[in-house]
């Protein structure tokens, strides 16, 4: 894995945007895998600005998000679909029909998960998958214990994730299940771009890079990919022991 420590959250966002734009320049109809959550927001802001400056066009790009909460519809303020529309898609020259997330309000969630996996495959797979890492080492919503060859499926959220994602309103019943691409699905992307920033991620990053390759840390599976880049800010890198990984990867 190519592990790079950059000086700030903004430096991580700029480098990540460079990598995304390079993919789109080489392949204008690139299929990007996207992550929700706070970490990629700075990257998305950077992409919006570059799109406004006409440095990159998303007109032919297609996107597939990693995951979605179950039990809430696409317009719900807590849905990832809504967050992606408000925070990215609505600000780009992308065709909304080319932006895909699983339906959180599907009548048959297991069938929805299977159909989503099939849709990714039928389009030819993901070119560049953007990923964050949960505080407990999850990727997408693959919680600790997820099998390393898991596919897109319905999952139950762990207590840590439920706590971390509790953004209210106070009387809102938080979703306890989600549909997520599996670890095996994620590893089939042609390239992975993993972002981790802030001190809260330091332990998960160290476990992912230097701990055992194990379902107890789903992000450790990223080491199995032959074209994976991990961009860190100094806070997220603070618990790494090996100095080798800083420059040359593991
Ligand atoms: C979320 C999402 C993941 C995300 C991770 C980290 O719940 N399911 O796709 O990468 O947890 O989130 P954040 O970037 O907000 O810390």
Q: Is the pLDDT of residue 116 over 60?
A: yes
pLDDT-derived band at 21, boundaries 50, 70, 90: very high
Q: What is the pLDDT of residue 174?
A: 84
> Per-residue pLDDT averaged across 197-207, rounded?
98
Give the residue, out of 35, 143, 178, with the most ligand 1 atoms within 8 A of its beta carbon, to mutate for a pocket test. Answer: 35
Rounded to the nearest whole angstrom, what is the distance from the C-alpha of residue 239 to the centroid of ligand 1?
20
Q: What is the pLDDT of residue 46?
A: 98
Distance CA 181, CA 164 (A): 20
Peptide bond into 78 cis (omega under 30): no
Exposure string of 228-246, with b = 16+ CB inside 10 Å and e = fewer, is: bbbbbbebbbebbeeeebe
> Per-residue pLDDT averaged across 43-65, rounded?
98
Rounded to a whole number of angstroms, the distance between the first and last alpha carbons of the chain is 5
**67 is an active site residue:** yes
Give, using CA atoms, the residue closest to atom 9 of ligand 1.
140
Ligand 1 lined by 44 (C-beta under 6 Å): no
Pairing of strands 228-232, 2-5: parallel
**143 is an active site residue:** yes
State percent of the chain over pLDDT 70.
95
DSSP state of 235: T
Of 134, 135, 37, the residue nearest 87 (C-alpha) = 37
Contacts of 88 (CB under 8 A, 6+ apart): 34, 44, 47, 48
pLDDT-derived band at 247, boundaries 50, 70, 90: very low
The answer to whether the pTM exceeds 0.85 is yes
- At 159-178, the pLDDT tens digits run 988 888 776 666 777 899 99
Say what the alpha-carbon torsion angle 2, 215, 151, 108 is, to the nearest 10 degrees.
-130
Give the residue, out of 83, 134, 183, with the most ligand 1 atoms within 8 A of its beta carbon, to mutate for a pocket test. Answer: 134
Give, using CA atoms, the residue closest to atom 11 of ligand 1.
134
- At 62-113, the pLDDT tens digits run 999 999 999 999 999 899 999 999 999 999 999 999 999 999 999 999 999 9
Distance CA 117, CA 185 (A): 8
- Measured from the CA of 37, which atom of ligand 1 is nearest? 15
Pairing of strands 2-5, 177-180: unpaired
Of 234, 237, 169, the residue nearest 8 (C-alpha) = 234
DSSP state of 247: H
**136 is an active site residue:** yes
Ligand 1 lined by 140 (C-beta under 6 Å): yes
Contacts of 173 (CB under 8 A, 6+ apart): none
**165 is an active site residue:** no
Q: What is the pLDDT of residue 243?
A: 57
- At 119-149, the pLDDT tens digits run 999 999 999 999 999 999 999 999 999 999 9
pLDDT-derived band at 154, boundaries 50, 70, 90: very high
Rounded to the nearest whole angstrom, what is the distance from the C-alpha of residue 162 to the centroid of ligand 1?
11
Ligand 1 lined by 134 (C-beta under 6 Å): yes
Distance CA 53, CA 61 (A): 17
DSSP state of 200: G
pLDDT-derived band at 57, boundaries 50, 70, 90: very high
């Amino acid at each position: 894995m190519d592990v790079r420590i950059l000086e700030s959250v903004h430096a991580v966002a700029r480098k990540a945007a460079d990598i995304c734009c390079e993919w789109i320049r080489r392949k204008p109809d690139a299929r990007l895998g996207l992550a929700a959550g706070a970490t990629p927001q700075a990257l998305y802001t950077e992409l919006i600005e570059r799109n406004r400056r006409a440095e990159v066009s998303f007109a032919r790009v297609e996107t597939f998000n990693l995951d979605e909460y179950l039990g809430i519809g696409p317009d719900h303020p807590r849905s990832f679909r809504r967050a992606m529309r408000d925070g990215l898609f609505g600000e780009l020259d992308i065709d909304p029909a080319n932006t895909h997330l699983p339906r959180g309000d599907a009548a048959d969630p297991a069938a929805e998960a299977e159909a989503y996996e099939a849709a990714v495959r039928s389009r030819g797979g993901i070119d560049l998958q953007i990923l964050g890492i949960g505080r407990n080492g999850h990727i997408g919503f693959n919680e600790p214990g997820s099998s390393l060859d898991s596919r897109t499926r319905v999952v139950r959220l762990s207590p840590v994730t439920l706590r971390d994602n509790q953004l209210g309103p106070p009387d809102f019943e938080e979703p306890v299940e989600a549909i997520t691409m599996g670890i095996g699905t994620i590893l089939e992307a042609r390239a992975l771009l993993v972002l981790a920033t802030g001190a809260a991620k330091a332990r998960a990053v160290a476990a992912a890079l230097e701990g055992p390759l194990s379902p107890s840390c789903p992000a450790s599976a990223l080491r199995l990919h032959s074209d994976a880049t991990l961009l860190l800010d100094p806070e997220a890198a603070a618990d790494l022991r090996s100095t080798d990984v800083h420059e040359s990867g593991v």
